[in-house]
Chains A and B, each alone.
Chain A
Amino acid sequence: MRFLGYLIRRIVGIAAVMIGVSVITFAISHVIPTDPAAAALGDHATDEQIAAFRAEYRLDRPLVEQYVTYATGILHGDLGRSIRTRRAVVDDLVDSFPATLELSFTALLVAMLVGVPAGVWSALYRGRPPDLIVRLLALAGGSIPVFWLGLIVIGLGYYQLGWFPGGGRIDTFVQPPPPRTGLYVVDSVIAGDLDALRSSLLHLVLPALTLGYFSTAVIARMTRSSMLEVLGQDYMRTARAKGLRERVIVVRHALRNALIPTVTIIGLTFGSLLSGAVLTETIFSWPGLGRYATASAVSLDFPAVLGVTLLAAVVYPLANLVVDVAYYWLDPRIQHG
């Protein structure tokens, strides 16, 4: 019951964050000096067209009134109409979010499956070549810009070697699975379509590696340092003294305790995955939220930018909530209260 109360308080907190985020982004997007009407209508528009546009998007109303209208809309599930695509922002988000979710989850999965073992391995071989290799790769992962990495990865994996497709979510001549969740991998499994599954998995490889590299590096470094800390503890010596197998010592006794800071980092990197998706999606022609955000920002499509920001404002605290719940699972001594 105490846990349930905690959950409710967190969800109320998320709502408060959303109100704050909506006020701030709304204010920022409306005080920038650029006129969205000029951006949307371009060179040929007449003064009358600009005035009509400003009236349609209520840009001629006082800022507070604009916000109240907008906030009321949110409560009714209406995020306004995109200036660029002329569609309801909610529809645009529903179209593009699953692609980003699929890519981000795959990237996170890659980061966990590679980052945690690499960190453990590095800690076990502290100061020796495997450790140096992991630390070097982790350093690179933290410092290479995503767009540059993306071009290198495409150049190698697609252009030079031809092992993986060069962009998009599925082969040009493979029919996408009927949409259920919007995640191509899941939908292909539901439809039992192996061609679509294989194609969508292959299409995930390069962008997920690109997007996941930074998180992999961060996770590996964090796992390494917390493993080193745990490995020096007294109970490790006890475990060894009582003759447990090394595998059991490392996985059961060391890793589980070392994972708590790593889980925190995983939650935080999920946020960086969303922002990394902006560049990765453009490079890999990935029809997701990141590319939608880029195109919207470039054309000063403020209803769309606000919509993306609000969605991020929900996803990010939710990821953190999942992390907090995971703590509980990893270490029952942690009490949420």
Chain B
Amino acid sequence: MSYRRLPILFIVALFIAAACTQPPPPTGATGASATPQATGGAASTLVYYADVSDLISLDPAVAYEFSGILLVHNAYETLVKFEGADLANIKPSLATSWDTKDAGATWDITFKLKSGVKFASGNALTADDVVYSLQRVIKLNKSPAFLFTDIAALKAESIKATDASTVVVSMPKTASAQGFLSILTFTVGGIVDSKEVKTHETGADSGSGWLLDHSAGSGPYSIDHWTKNSEVLLKANANYGGTKPALSGVLVKHVPESTNQQFALEKGDADVARNLSPQQVAALQGKTGITTTQGNSLLLVYIGMNSTAKPLDNVNVREALRTAIDYDGIIKDLLKGNAKKVQGIVPVGLSGANESAPFQADVAKAKALLAQAGQTAITLELLVPTGPAPGGVAWADLASKLQADWAKIGVTVNIKQTAQADLLTTYRAQKGQLVMILWGPDFPDPDANVGPFTDYAAKSIAYRNAWDDKTIAAKGRDAALITDVTKRTAAYKEITEYVLHNGPYAVLYQPTELFGLRSNVKGFAWNPMGWLDFASITK
């Protein structure tokens, strides 16, 4: 009954036929491309290995995840921008100039647009595109929309074109004009080609179904394709007005396992490995053909102390806990140097960051503080998420280190590890005692940290720690509205200094990002906002 074996024979034949067609290519050689895709093959394409499981949409009005932001940033331009890693000075981009006027009840910001800008489609960029794009964010009301509607208190009708190259945005005086300009540098401020997008609108989706995996921007690259769960290919935008990108394509491959990323980097299949642990980076040091580099982040890893849970309601107890922690040990030993020693509530890199870091494992002083508070033996619960903390150390290891540090001053800490979502539910309900977690600002402005960390009424971090200090909250709100940059920075310095000693927080560190690169990759500069400009990279 030989016909029964036909299926098996067929499959075996397939294997043999395929194996015989050509000798296998050397997997190590990046030049061994067979049929190059749209971008002209391996030599002119940057192959970027990363875990992009967070990717949801490539629409600037929707994307609010690290991977989405990285890709959207390279496909769209914004009215204003930060240059390089400087997140203190706002520079022109699609807007050549802007002017903030006191219009009585509102701040009116007038943007003058650059002329001659074209989208990837060839359409000219006009004020109508700007109005369409910014209104679209409010209308769609997706994850990043709160930056416009809550932080900047904008409504769709607040955004108007007065002529083909002028846009006026009116915002209530309760919101910070400086903060809004910072928000506009972010991907949510990306300007879309309204003519193109309108042709792809389905129902009331404002084209978000199409922009999910296409692009309609004026940035150096445009989206060629996104194969879900596999890869996103960017190809150079021929109509880009700035310096032409050196590489005609960027291929972002979804590779969740960091070991695979390391292997592929060493074999030359990957040009960049995004998610390497400090141990892997250490192992790659000195290997030929490979370099490693660091990038700054704006994250803070901190401990929240519930200021109504006894004895944490005593400011000296909180100061004692902060004083006893061995910050240097955490950074050197646990994180292999992969972090900055930052103790203020504004990360280094933003204006208003307070670089003062007065605490470091002073057991005698911490004990004295406890004695002052009339406390000898304290037992507390420390809530900790599962998995790895930013910087590449397990949350559990950080917790053990803190437990040991605090044991030296007679504070017993019981560690309770839960999924981050569970931890957040407890934390939000003010039911934690000590909670270890991270925070990243929503937009590159000190207000994005000072607000949540000081304002109880904002129902964010201060609320979760039951810290209701109305004076400092008011100072935080006032500082946000200051338009003079020097005065604003001084105001933030005063606030952060106060929170450092009186707030319910112990900021542990500001992690840095680690990357493995092939040595021929040049011009790689990570921006703390969570992106890099692919256009400046050569290989």
> Which chain A residue has the least Cβ–Cβ distance from B36?
A173
- Complex Cα gap A164–B11 (Å): 20
- Residues of B near A288 (CB, < 8 A) are 229
Q: Mark A159-187, 1 if CB is under 8 A from B, else 0.
A: 10011111111011111100000000100
- Complex Cα gap A185–B14 (Å): 9
- Residues of B near A190 (CB, < 8 A) are none
- Complex Cα gap A179–B19 (Å): 22
From B27, B229, B230, B231, A162 is in contact (CB under 8 Å) with B27
Interchain CB contact under 8 A, B267 and A86: no
Q: Mark B263-296, 1 if CB is under 8 A from A, else 0.
A: 1101101000000000000000000000000000
Interface residue ranges of B1-30 to A (CB < 8 Å): 8, 11-12, 14-15, 17-19, 21-22, 24-28
Interchain CB contact under 8 A, B15 and A201: yes
- Residues of A near B442 (CB, < 8 A) are 44
- Residues of A near B230 (CB, < 8 A) are 168-169, 287
B384 on interface, CB distance cutoff 8 Å: no
Interchain CB contact under 8 A, B56 and A86: yes
A197 on interface, CB distance cutoff 8 Å: yes
- Complex Cα gap A257–B175 (Å): 81
B37 on interface, CB distance cutoff 8 Å: yes
- Residues of B near A176 (CB, < 8 A) are 227
Interchain CB contact under 8 A, B56 and A85: yes
B439 on interface, CB distance cutoff 8 Å: yes
B437 on interface, CB distance cutoff 8 Å: yes
Interface residue ranges of A20-44 to B (CB < 8 Å): 33-36, 38-39, 42-44
Known: A46-B146, A175-B37. 16 other contacts (CB 8 A): A34-B422, A35-B425, A96-B228, A154-B259, A154-B263, A159-B263, A166-B264, A171-B33, A173-B35, A194-B22, A197-B17, A197-B21, A282-B257, A285-B257, A285-B260, A292-B229
A195 on interface, CB distance cutoff 8 Å: yes
Interchain CB contact under 8 A, B34 and A174: yes
Q: Smallest distance from the beta carbon of A250 to chain B beta carbons, Å?
A: 16
Interchain CB contact under 8 A, A283 and B257: yes
Binding site for B on A (CB under 8 A): 33-36, 38-39, 42-44, 46-47, 49, 84-86, 92, 95-96, 109, 113, 151, 154-155, 158-159, 162-169, 171-176, 185, 189, 194-195, 197-199, 201-202, 282-285, 287-288, 291-292, 295, 300
- Residues of B near A42 (CB, < 8 A) are 424
Complex interface: stretch among B164-172, B238-246, B248-256, B335-343: B248-256
- Given A154-B260, A195-B35, A201-B18, A167 contacting B428 (CB threshold 8 A): no
How would you classify the secondary structure of chain B's contact residues: helix, strand, loop or mixed?
mixed
5 cross-chain pairs, A with B, having the tightest CB-CB distances, nearest first: A39-B421, A173-B33, A287-B229, A38-B421, A285-B255
Q: Smallest distance from the beta carbon of A79 to chain B beta carbons, Å?
A: 16
B188 on interface, CB distance cutoff 8 Å: no
- Residues of A near B101 (CB, < 8 A) are none
- Complex Cα gap A175–B230 (Å): 13
- Residues of A near B425 (CB, < 8 A) are 34-35, 38
- Residues of B near A33 (CB, < 8 A) are 422
Interchain CB contact under 8 A, B18 and A173: no
- Complex Cα gap A8–B438 (Å): 56
B215 on interface, CB distance cutoff 8 Å: no
- Residues of A near B420 (CB, < 8 A) are 39
- Residues of A near B47 (CB, < 8 A) are 172
- Complex Cα gap A158–B42 (Å): 19
> Which chain A residue has the least Cβ–Cβ distance from B422?
A34
B308 on interface, CB distance cutoff 8 Å: no
B57 on interface, CB distance cutoff 8 Å: yes
> Which chain A residue has the least Cβ–Cβ distance from B257?
A283
B459 on interface, CB distance cutoff 8 Å: yes
- Residues of B near A168 (CB, < 8 A) are 230, 253, 255
Q: Smallest distance from the beta carbon of A72 to chain B beta carbons, Å?
A: 23
Q: Smallest distance from the beta carbon of B200 to chain A beta carbons, Å?
A: 17
- Complex Cα gap A174–B28 (Å): 15
- Given A47-B459, A292-B229, A151 contacting B259 (CB threshold 8 A): yes
- Complex Cα gap A165–B57 (Å): 29
Interchain CB contact under 8 A, B35 and A44: no
> Which chain B residue has the least Cβ–Cβ distance from A49?
B146
- Complex Cα gap A43–B461 (Å): 9
- Complex Cα gap A36–B425 (Å): 10
Interface residue ranges of B33-69 to A (CB < 8 Å): 33-37, 41-42, 45, 47, 53, 56-57
- Residues of B near A175 (CB, < 8 A) are 35, 37
- Complex Cα gap A316–B439 (Å): 43
Q: Smallest distance from the beta carbon of A63 to chain B beta carbons, Å?
A: 19
Q: List 16 A-B contacts (CB under 8 A).
A: A35-B425, A43-B437, A46-B150, A85-B228, A154-B263, A159-B266, A167-B264, A171-B25, A171-B34, A172-B33, A172-B47, A172-B231, A189-B14, A282-B256, A285-B253, A285-B255
- Complex Cα gap A102–B132 (Å): 45
B419 on interface, CB distance cutoff 8 Å: yes
Interchain CB contact under 8 A, B19 and A167: no
Q: Which of A154, A167, A300 has the most CB of B within 10 A?
A: A167
Q: Mark B218-240, 1 if CB is under 8 A from A, else 0.
A: 00000000011111000000000
- Residues of B near A197 (CB, < 8 A) are 14, 17-18, 21
B460 on interface, CB distance cutoff 8 Å: yes
Q: Smallest distance from the beta carbon of A166 to chain B beta carbons, Å?
A: 5
- Complex Cα gap A165–B12 (Å): 21
- Residues of B near A195 (CB, < 8 A) are 34-35
Interchain CB contact under 8 A, A164 and B27: yes
- Residues of B near A49 (CB, < 8 A) are 146
> Which chain B residue has the least Cβ–Cβ distance from A105?
B11
- Residues of B near A283 (CB, < 8 A) are 257, 260
Interchain CB contact under 8 A, A109 and B257: no
> Which chain B residue has the least Cβ–Cβ distance from A295?
B53
Q: Mark B196-233, 1 if CB is under 8 A from A, else 0.
A: 00000000000000000000000000000001111100
Interchain CB contact under 8 A, A285 and B57: no
- Given A46-B459, A85-B56, A95-B228, A174 contacting B35 (CB threshold 8 A): yes
- Residues of A near B45 (CB, < 8 A) are 173
Interchain CB contact under 8 A, B263 and A155: yes
From A38, A44, A113, B460 is in contact (CB under 8 Å) with A44
- Residues of B near A173 (CB, < 8 A) are 33-37, 41-42, 45
- Given A35-B421, A96-B229, A163 contacting B35 (CB threshold 8 A): no
Interface residue ranges of B397-419 to A (CB < 8 Å): 419
> Which chain A residue has the least Cβ–Cβ distance from B463?
A47
From A162, A167, A185, B28 is in contact (CB under 8 Å) with A162
Interchain CB contact under 8 A, B257 and A287: no
- Residues of A near B263 (CB, < 8 A) are 154-155, 158-159, 166
